[in-house]
């Protein structure tokens, strides 16, 4: 006879958003409906002052949340709050609210209507990235409304370490949690690029998203087991399941301690092949963090943070200060700096970027840089000035044709002449490479290898372009798996073309730090893996457990299966000998 717990026990399957294992009581965040009072005949001056005060209070809260996330997760993860602060000052939004206030409407109703009007507009856009901004607008709007109504922001009280369960979570909601008491995140909605996924990874917390409405049926306190690597959640497990999970988690914790203690050691296979493991970073402060986790350099310096969430373009001296600080922190280690990779999906007011139906296929990255050469020149001059005494490498993003790469290199040579004529020294040897994230770049890799010193494969974009599946659209999130053999075959062809020309190849997308993918990338003969710093110790440990020969055999078999899940199942069923 089964016990009642055995009867209730069930497994929910979602999208693996952040790796790791956790078990504990559920703490369910339930959406609350706010009733907005509607009055007329109010004094416009009084209501305007109330709205101004509420916005100021909300701004202070947003800045505190930004500082908290920056300290706990990193500057790149905290950048979303810069966009939130900009929403508070959006001219069109404020005008919409003020027009209602001038007719005598109370501030609460005027603000709520303005927020909903603009959120609804965003939701009508065809691009999922821009549609997702509607939630951010409502998040900011709700914070201001709370102050107007004099109500405290609703949330989950974590009196004990818990599994946070919600329909979805806005950045400010996630940031409000005490990190030490969050064991894991489980959401009914969301995809692998949701705010929950991004912050969970940065915090090192397991997360499973896209679990569906069933997860919202849980009661507070229900025992939950979360496997963020496999995307599984076990609700109310029986004793045998709980015991087995506890053993897995204890083993994983011991393994993590061992991996961290060896993080600074090189990643060398059992048959003595060395793989370079470096970090993706997006702020000066993250260089030191990367070194703490064993990074052997920087494989992707995202320079977008210099451009975003400001009202004027960064100056050459702004760039120079940042690059100098990062290069100084990394010493003689290699640093690959990617030039500006922004577009219509990112708020850059001073560039006057057009709103596009699909910004991922539009005017972005190198396409902007070549049409706005004055912006690129400022960045390139600063990089060149920072280069002496360091192993700086420059990489151009979103290259789709050889003509684009040649044009970008011509801009670099022009910047080099400008720097030299100004009397500044430049590193004698400086590698110039490109991102491979567009299928055309993979197909023409042999041609690009004549022009580039190296390739860095951006598997996030390469996957969405190959499978025609927007990685920000949760309805097609199941397709956004870079372990798909169609992606792996392109990686193989790029490596073969590059090595034939004596060029090196790295991977800097999420795939590089994916435990299932590491042995495959080793077997595909990649030279470098670049990943989030927290993923480095585990990736190095995986490489050390394999021989290159065994990894090559595994990769060859993976190329012949027909789906990403089949690839993952193959890897999991094929432990190193």
pLDDT per residue as tens digits for the range 396-450 = 999 999 999 999 999 999 999 999 999 999 998 999 999 999 999 999 999 999 9
**Residue limits of CATH 3.20.20.60 in the chain:** 267-572
In this prediction, residue 127 carries a pLDDT of 58
**Is 483 noted as a catalytic residue in this protein?**
no
Burial 495-528 (b: 16+ CB within 10 A, else e): bebbeeeebbbbbbbbbbbbbbbbbbbbbbbbbb
Rounded to the nearest integer, the mean pLDDT of the chain is: 90
* For residue 171, pLDDT beyond 60: yes
**Is 186 noted as a catalytic residue in this protein?**
no
pLDDT digits (tens, 9 = 90+) for 501-534: 999 999 998 899 999 999 999 999 999 999 989 8
Q: Which residue has better confidence, 354 or 414?
A: 414
* For residue 1, pLDDT beyond 60: no
| Residue 157: Cβ within 10 Å count | 10
Catalytic residue among 84, 147, 195, 390: 195
Helices (H) and strands (E) in the chain, counts: 23, 17
Q: Which range is least confidently modeled, 313-327, 331-345, 377-391, 487-501? A: 331-345
Write the DSSP assignment of 259-317 as a string of letters: HHHTTTS-EE-TTS-EEEEEEEE-STHHHHHHHHTT-SSEEEEE-GGGTSS-SSPPPHH
* For residue 380, pLDDT beyond 80: yes
* For residue 479, pLDDT beyond 50: yes
Chain length of the chain: 577
pLDDT digits (tens, 9 = 90+) for 200-227: 888 889 999 999 999 999 999 999 999 9
* For residue 343, pLDDT beyond 80: no
Distance of alpha carbon 120 from alpha carbon 424, whole angstroms? 52
CA dihedral sign of residues 531, 361, 138, 59: positive
In this prediction, residue 175 carries a pLDDT of 84
pLDDT digits (tens, 9 = 90+) for 173-184: 888 888 889 999
Write the DSSP assignment of 381-414 as a string of letters: HHHHHH-TTSEEEEEESS--SHHHHHHHHHHHHH
Catalytic residue among 84, 390, 484, 508: 508
**Residue limits of CATH 1.10.274.10 in the chain:** 44-149
In this prediction, residue 155 carries a pLDDT of 57
Calculate ∠ Cα 32-34-40, nearest 5°.
Answer: 175
**266-272 long-range contacts, CB within 8 A, separation 24+:** 266/296, 266/540, 267/539, 267/540, 267/543, 267/544, 268/543, 268/544, 269/522, 269/543, 269/544, 269/546, 269/547, 269/548, 269/551, 270/544, 270/545, 270/546, 270/547, 270/576, 271/547, 271/548, 271/549
pLDDT digits (tens, 9 = 90+) for 236-287: 999 999 999 999 999 999 999 999 999 999 999 999 999 999 999 988 989 9
- Give which of 332, 335, 324 is closest to 302, Cα–Cα: 335
CA dihedral sign of residues 326, 306, 532, 446: negative
How deeply is 371 buried, as exposed, middle or buried, from its count of CB atoms within 10 A (0-12, 13-18, 19+)?
exposed
- Give which of 361, 60, 34, 80 is closest to 197, Cα–Cα: 80
Q: Which CATH number fits domain 4-32+155-256: 3.50.30.10, 1.10.357.10, 3.10.150.10, 3.20.20.70?
A: 3.50.30.10
Beta-bridged to residue 182, according to DSSP, are 162
Give the DSSP letter of residue 355.
P
Residue 241 phi, psi (nearest 5) = -65, -40
In this prediction, residue 244 carries a pLDDT of 95
For the chain, what is the radius of gyration of the CA atoms?
Answer: 25
Q: Residues 293-303: what's their mean pLDDT?
A: 96
Q: Residues 109-127: what's their mean pLDDT?
A: 86
Distance of alpha carbon 25 from alpha carbon 28, whole angstroms? 10
| Token couple for 23 | 């078990």
Superfamily in which the 44-149 domain is placed by CATH: PtsI, HPr-binding domain (1.10.274.10)
Beta-bridged to residue 279, according to DSSP, are 298, 531
- Give which of 432, 428, 427 is closest to 393, Cα–Cα: 432
What are the residues whose beta carbons fall under 8 Å from the beta carbon of 453, sequence distance 6 or more? 393, 431, 432, 433, 503
In this prediction, residue 233 carries a pLDDT of 97
- Give which of 423, 397, 426 is closest to 413, Cα–Cα: 426
Beta-bridged to residue 165, according to DSSP, are 28, 186
In this prediction, residue 7 carries a pLDDT of 43
What are the residues whose beta carbons fall under 8 Å from the beta carbon of 429, sequence distance 6 or more? none
Please report which confidence band the pLDDT of residue 128 belongs to, taking 50, 70 and 90 as the band edges. low
User: Which residue intervals of 185-238 are DSSP H helices?
Assistant: 195-203
In this prediction, residue 6 carries a pLDDT of 42
Q: Is 518 in contact with 464 (CB distance < 8 Å)?
A: no
| Token couple for 46 | 């009084």
Write the DSSP assignment of 140-159 as a string of letters: HHHHHHHHHHT-PPP----S
In this prediction, residue 32 carries a pLDDT of 75
Given this structure, which CATH class describes domain 267-572?
alpha beta
In this prediction, residue 570 carries a pLDDT of 97
What are the residues whose beta carbons fall under 8 Å from the beta carbon of 175, sequence distance 6 or more? 65, 68, 69, 81, 199
**Residue limits of CATH 3.50.30.10 in the chain:** 4-32+155-256
In this prediction, residue 308 carries a pLDDT of 76
pLDDT digits (tens, 9 = 90+) for 12-27: 999 888 889 999 999 9
- Residue 104: left (phi > 0), alpha (psi -120 to 50), or beta? left
Binding positions: 302, 338, 437, 460-461, 471
Place of tokens 């995809």: 191
Distance of alpha carbon 147 from alpha carbon 545, whole angstroms? 55
Please report which confidence band the pLDDT of residue 72 belongs to, taking 50, 70 and 90 as the band edges. confident
Distance of alpha carbon 3 from alpha carbon 238, whole angstroms? 8
In this prediction, residue 4 carries a pLDDT of 40
Q: Residues 327-338: what's their mean pLDDT?
A: 97
- pTM for this predicted structure: 0.80
* For residue 2, pLDDT beyond 50: no
* For residue 156, pLDDT beyond 70: no
Distance of alpha carbon 11 from alpha carbon 398, whole angstroms? 40
Binding positions for Mg(2+): 437, 461
Q: Is 534 in contact with 510 (CB distance < 8 Å)?
A: no
* For residue 74, pLDDT beyond 80: no
Distance of alpha carbon 348 from alpha carbon 29, whole angstroms? 33
- Give which of 526, 576, 515, 571 is closest to 550, Cα–Cα: 576
What is the SS3 assignment for 162?
Answer: strand
Binding positions for phosphoenolpyruvate: 302, 338, 460-461, 471
What are the residues whose beta carbons fall under 8 Å from the beta carbon of 546, sequence distance 6 or more? 269, 270, 519, 522, 576
How deeply is 59 buried, as exposed, middle or buried, from its count of CB atoms within 10 A (0-12, 13-18, 19+)?
middle
Distance of alpha carbon 368 from alpha carbon 211, whole angstroms? 38
């Amino acid at each position: 006879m089964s016990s009642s717990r055995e009867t209730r026990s069930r497994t929910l399957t979602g999208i693996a958003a952040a790796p790791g294992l956790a078990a504990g009581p559920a703490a369910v965040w339930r959406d609350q409906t706010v009733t907005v009072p509607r009055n007329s005949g109010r004094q416009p001056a009084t209501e305007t002052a109330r709205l101004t005060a509420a916005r100021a209070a909300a701004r202070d809260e947003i800045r505190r949340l930004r500082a908290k996330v920056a300290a706990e997760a990193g500057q790149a993860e905290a950048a979303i709050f810069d966009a939130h602060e900009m929403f508070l000052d959006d001219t069109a939004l404020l005008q919409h609210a003020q027009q209602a206030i001038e007719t005598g409407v109370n501030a609460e109703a005027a603000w709520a209507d303005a927020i909903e009007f603009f959120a609804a507009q965003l939701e009508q856009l065809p691009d999922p990235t821009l549609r997702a901004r509607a939630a951010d607008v409502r998040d900011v709007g709700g914070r201001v409304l709370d102050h107007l109504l004099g109500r405290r922001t609703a949330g989950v009280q974590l009196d004990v370490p818990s599994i946070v369960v919600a329909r979805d979570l806005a950045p400010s909601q996630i940031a409000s949690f005490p990190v030490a008491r969050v064991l894991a995140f489980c959401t009914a909605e969301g995809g692998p690029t949701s705010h929950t996924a991004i912050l969970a990874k940065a915090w090192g917390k397991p997360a499973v998203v896209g679990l569906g409405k069933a997860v919202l049926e849980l009661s507070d306190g229900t025992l939950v087991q979360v496997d963020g690597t496999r995307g599984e959640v076990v609700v109310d497990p029986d004793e045998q399941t709980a015991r087995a999970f506890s053993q897995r988690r204890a083993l994983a914790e011991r393994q993590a301690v061992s991996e961290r203690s060896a993080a600074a050691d090189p990643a060398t296979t059992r048959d003595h092949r060395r793989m370079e493991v470096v970090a993706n970073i997006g702020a000066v402060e993250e260089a030191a963090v990367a070194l703490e986790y064993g990074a052997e350099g920087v494989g992707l310096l995202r320079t977008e943070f210099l451009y975003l969430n400001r009202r004027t373009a960064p100056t050459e001296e702004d760039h120079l200060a940042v690059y100098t600080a990062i290069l100084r922190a990394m010493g003689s280690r290699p640093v690959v700096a990617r030039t500006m990779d922004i577009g219509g999906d990112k708020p850059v007011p001073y560039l006057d970027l057009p709103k596009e139906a699909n910004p991922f296929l539009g005017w972005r990255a190198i396409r902007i840089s070549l049409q706005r050469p004055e912006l690129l020149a400022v960045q390139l001059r600063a990089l060149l000035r920072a280069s002496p005494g360091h192993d700086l490498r420059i990489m151009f993003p979103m290259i789709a044709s050889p003509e684009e790469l040649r044009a970008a290199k011509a801009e670099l040579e022009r910047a080099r002449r400008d720097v030299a004529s100004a009397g500044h020294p430049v590193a004698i040897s400086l590698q110039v490479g490109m991102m491979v994230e567009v299928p055309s770049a993979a197909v023409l890799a042999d041609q690009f290898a004549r022009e580039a010193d190296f390739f860095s494969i951006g598997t996030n974009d390469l996957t969405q372009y190959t499978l025609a599946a927007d990685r920000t659209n949760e309805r097609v999130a199941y397709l956004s798996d870079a372990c798909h053999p169609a992606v792996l075959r392109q990686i193989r062809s790029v490596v073969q073309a590059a090595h034939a020309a004596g060029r090196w190849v790295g991977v800097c997308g999420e795939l590089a730090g994916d435990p299932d993918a590491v042995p495959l990338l080793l077997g595909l003969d990649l030279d470098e893996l670049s990943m989030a710093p927290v993923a480095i110790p585990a990736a190095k440990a995986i490489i050390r457990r394999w021989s290159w020969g065994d990894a090559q055999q595994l990769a060859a078999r993976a190329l012949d299966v027909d789906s990403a899940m089949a690839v993952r199942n193959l890897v999991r069923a094929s432990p190193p000998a």
